[in-house]
Amino acid sequence: MPNSDERFYLVDTPGFDDSNRPDQEILRELSSWLTRTYSYDIRLSGIIYLHRIMDVRFGGAAMRNLSMFKKLCGDGNLSSVVLATTFWSQVDQDIGETREQQLKNTPSFWGSMVNRGSKIFRHDLAEASGAAIIQYLLDRHEKPVYAMIQDEMVNKNMTLEETAAGSEVQTEMDKLRRRYEKDIQDLKQEMERALNERDETAREELEKEKQKFEEFIEREREEREKMRANAEALWQQREAEREIERSEHMRRMEDLQRQYLEMEQKMKGVQKDAEQQKKVAELQQQIAVERAKLEAQYNARFSVRSTSTNMATTSKARQVPPEGRHRVTSAGELETVVGAVIVKPFQKVTETIELVNTGEEPPPV
């Protein structure tokens, strides 16, 4: 484990390769946490970017993630970046090393970042490799860093839309929206042909596909409006959205509880066969999961929900929460860290680690 008594946090962050969420929503989620912590004088001590060495190509999604990563960080902070490769057990060693060299030597991949001071590590899912990355960042005695988007939104009072990352996201979403608008026009023509040919099945399928495009475009418009917010307004947006999520979790829990009670009543009047017992056990498990999610949403103060991607940020606080206010929980050995919060990077490549509040009054973050 890291050889340090300092309290530090490793914060999980979402990535820009989620087909179910517009990139603007992901950027709002990430930026709201970064700007909020920065405004409370909490600074980053390093940034970790993970890449799966098992990936055959450094394709479009990976390039988009890397581009957004650079826009968020800024060139001046690249010396505080760790570039870590993962999933070495899933690839032949020689092939993995060849890909690693390609990442390192290609300027449009990691080459330019390495030239600016970024450090390459291998993370093989073992505790030792993860601890080595953290220790490297803790051993650096440079001043704390801040992401470029923190400077833009807090110091310069820009809206999210005006930042470099915001502009990058909007450019990509504009391209996607125009493509979808063209697809909708093409689908309308196909639907008209299906109608003339009295092919109702084909027309209904085309209508469903068109509706998906239209829903995405409408959601993108809504997200564009939300990005016209400064740091404080952005935080309020996310707080309101989190409250809706908590309410939805509560509704799901109540529905599961109702189903469980109904099944329990049925079991009283019939023989408890194996299938019925299995259904009851499944419901009990679902209820436990939803209850844990709800508790985490109410208690966690530093959480940024994970989807999948390749970036994490470690932060060192000047204004540290009182001892005992938070604890680290995980499915593995990292649970032994005292006075630290370790939150896994974008991709699920290590034990699940999350910040949990003990129920006391949270610190001002």
Q: Would you give per-residue pLDDT tens digits along the chain (365 residues)?
A: 566 576 777 888 877 777 777 888 889 988 999 999 898 888 888 889 988 898 887 777 788 888 888 888 888 888 889 999 999 989 999 999 999 999 999 998 999 999 998 999 999 878 888 889 988 888 876 667 788 999 999 999 999 999 999 998 888 888 888 888 888 888 888 888 777 777 777 778 888 888 888 888 888 888 888 989 999 999 999 889 888 988 888 888 888 888 888 877 776 655 556 677 777 778 778 887 877 777 766 655 443 333 333 344 444 433 333 333 333 333 332 222 223 333 333 333 333 333 333 334 433 43
The confidence score (pLDDT) of residue 97 equals: 93
259 vs 282: CA distance, rounded Å: 11
Please name the residue ranges forming H helices in the chain.
Answer: 23-39, 60-73, 93-105, 112-115, 127-139, 148-150, 164-196, 200-226, 231-269, 274-299
Q: How far is CA 66 from the centre of its chain?
A: 14
Count how many residues are written for the chain.
Answer: 365
CA distances from 6 to 106, 233, 365 (A): 36, 32, 19
Within 10 angstroms of residue 174's Cβ, the number of other Cβ atoms is 12
145 vs 31: CA distance, rounded Å: 16
250 vs 258: CA distance, rounded Å: 12
Within 10 angstroms of residue 233's Cβ, the number of other Cβ atoms is 13
The confidence score (pLDDT) of residue 113 equals: 93
Question: Are 314 and 343 spatial neighbours (Cβ–Cβ below 8 Å)?
Answer: no
Q: What is the dihedral of CA 322, 245, 164, 147, to 10 degrees?
A: 20
Q: Name residue 49's beta-bridge partners.
A: 83, 311
The confidence score (pLDDT) of residue 280 equals: 75
Who's near 60: CB < 8 A, 6+ residues apart?
none
Rounded to a whole number of angstroms, the distance between the first and last alpha carbons of the chain is 26
Who's near 136: CB < 8 A, 6+ residues apart?
46, 82, 119, 121
Question: Are 345 and 310 spatial neighbours (Cβ–Cβ below 8 Å)?
Answer: yes
Amino acid at 280: V
Who's near 48: CB < 8 A, 6+ residues apart?
10, 81, 82, 84, 133, 137, 311, 312, 313, 314, 345
Question: Are 107 and 78 spatial neighbours (Cβ–Cβ below 8 Å)?
Answer: no
The confidence score (pLDDT) of residue 302 equals: 41
The confidence score (pLDDT) of residue 272 equals: 56
Burial class for 137, CB neighbours closer than 10 Å (0-12, 13-18, 19+): buried
Q: Identify the CA nearest to 143 among candidates 7, 342, 316.
A: 316
Return the exposure string of 296-305: e unless at least 16 CB atoms fall within 10 Å of the residue's CB, then b: bbebbebbbe
Q: Is 6 helix (H, G, I), strand (E, B) or coil?
A: coil
14: phi then psi, degrees, rounded to nearest 5:
-80, 165
Tokens 């989190």, located at residue: 242
Note if the pTM is more than 0.85.
no
CA distances from 98 to 11, 51, 190, 191, 245 (A): 30, 14, 47, 49, 44
Q: Is 188 helix (H, G, I), strand (E, B) or coil?
A: helix
